[in-house]
Amino acid sequence: MCGIIGYIGPREATPLLIEGLRRMEYRGYDSAGVALWDGEAIEVRRAAGKIAKLEAAIAADPVDGMVGIGHTRWATHGAPNERNAHPHLSADGSVAVVHNGIIENASVLRGALQDLGYVFRSDTDTEVIAHLVQELFDGSLEEAVIHALRKIEGTYGIAVISSRDPGKIVAARKGSPLLIGVGNGENFLASDASAILAHTRQVVYLDDGDVAVIERDSYRVIDLNAMPLPRDVDRIDWDLAEIERGGYAHFMLKEIFEQPQSVENTMRGRLMLEDGTAKLGGLNLSHEDLLRIDNIIITACGTSWHSALIGELLIEELARIPVEVEYASEFRYRNPIVTERTLCIVMSQSGETADTLAAMREAKRRGARTLGLVNVVGSTIAREDDGGVYLHAGPEIGVASTKAFTSQVVALALFTLKLARKRDLSVVRGREIAQALHALPAQIQEVLDRAPAVEAIAERFKDATNFLYLGRGFNFPAALEGALKLKEISYIHAEGYPAAEMKHGPIALIDEHMPVVFIAPHDAVFDKIVSNIQEVKARSGTTIVITSRDEPALRGLIDHEIRIPETLDMLMPILASVPLQLLAYYIAVKRGAHVDQPRNLAKSVTVE
């Protein structure tokens, strides 16, 4: 998995492919390569590591053409080296393939092809596709690809070119995103709109089961029976500037500082202050539908799972509906209790997370209504759910999610407010919550204005080897998220716990070398968390405490303080998460880590 780019037209393809791959670097990858039809044969250049190494390989041995495909790989089958980098060639060199996803029956197909005399040069599952297409080719590349796909089990987003049918790129998807970029006398293919935004805003999103035949002046979408399929042309409405750093050292820092705007964008046109409710036009749920909900399941992965935990607390407290938060990767492998009165909320920044998509499909199969909370317009979850809420946070390039997290929590708060007001929540309480939501952008800016103080704390702890993050109530998920951010980008081991659980195990780790981050605003459980801070101090632990006011009870217990504004308890995790993001960022930078592309991680995980 990771990035796919393709081009066919009148221009030299190599620089366009490299540019597209660079636009997708944020997704995380460990090798890169291109394949081009140079008018006589298919030429491939590949390199392990970053795109700069691929550019060096091309500079040493130039290649160009007007038809080409490129790829950045995040290793699944086989080590991240040049041998396993994409594109992969067929045995006779006539077919080149790039692939996101996993071919589940690759070992069976490999054995069958080896019996036919094919020799494999990589450890990947992808190479199977190249040899299959060669074996099944009978004059038409798209027909050979279709016949090959009928033999394949698993997930894929693929792009294929052939010297035996050179005037086209054939693409197909099943579980891994692809789109066609429609140009003027040229066309593009990509797994991510950012790769082609500099050249066209007109895109055609492919659905599972689609096969696309892309030529210089035309394209067509067909199914696996070669029957034509109608597909709408959509327009990308965000700007190139939104996927550039804009003077910031890293995308992650830019996106942290964008949160006043991204949170405001999530609420824009939705928050109804006078009525104390929210207007969410994409839910496709009537008043009666909302009242019929007996239980809610929220399914997500990673950072989205943490925001889901906050959503669980919000919905149960205000709407009084039972909520279960499920890891999407586990949901369909158990026997969850789902009925026609169940609402399944699926959360994914990219809208393409394979585990979350599979969980949504399982919930639908069992009769639940599905509601998607995603950030990427036109994503698979957005197209397949029964209704949804777009975050409108803008493109998030940094692999470690920041602004999408806060926008997810805000979106969940808006949905909760609407749901609760349809039930028993009073207009007075609704107005109080709406006003607190309305104040968030300015309050987040207050926190960001204190970034230098957080950076100073990061300098003190950049060489730590372990961190503990503790919070209670609504702030326990924020502690989990703070620990995850530190792990993801600085590679420091960190754990998040409910503060009261510390004494049931983690307290054994606490000594003078263990920094402990407490989220301790003045909320309903403040007195309880003060006791937990005292327990850490009694064992010589070092405390970093996020507070919301000058608290006499905390005097003498705080080694390092980060102050945030006061808000409702239910919204505290939004404000508390911002300094935790900054702390992780500054520690990672001071340790020399690659903040935007942390090792082993990918932005959009499209394999199980």
Catalytically annotated residue among 2, 254, 403, 487 = 2
Could you tell me the two tokens for 269?
Answer: 């046109």
Could you tell me the two tokens for 314?
Answer: 């919000």
**CB atoms closer than 10 angstroms to residue 289:** 16
User: Which residues on adjacent β-strands are paired with residue 190?
Assistant: 5, 179
Could you tell me the two tokens for 454?
Answer: 């957080």
DSSP notation for 105-117: THHHHHHHHHHTT
Residue type for 560, please? H
Going from the C-alpha of 152 to that of each of 101, 102, 190, the distances in angstroms are 12, 10, 22
The reply to whether 344 belongs to the active site is no
How long, in residues, is the chain?
608
Specify whether the CB–CB gap between 195 and 5 falls below 8 A. yes
CA gap 164, 607 in Å, rounded: 31
CA dihedral 124, 73, 60, 129 (to 10 degrees): 40
Residue type for 347, please? M
Q: Is the dihedral of CA 460, 465, 471, 476 positive or negative?
A: positive
The reply to whether 603 belongs to the active site is yes
Strand order in the sheet with 156-162: 88-89, 95-100, 156-162, 169-174, 211-214, 219-222
Q: Which helix (H) or strand (E) holds 514?
A: none
Could you tell me the two tokens for 24?
Answer: 């997708």
- From the number of C-beta atoms within 10 Å of its C-beta (0-12, 13-18, 19+), residue 61 rates as exposed
CA gap 518, 547 in Å, rounded: 9
Could you tell me the two tokens for 599?
Answer: 């090792």
Q: Is the dihedral of CA 164, 169, 172, 175 positive or negative?
A: positive
- From the number of C-beta atoms within 10 Å of its C-beta (0-12, 13-18, 19+), residue 504 rates as exposed
Active site residues: 2, 603
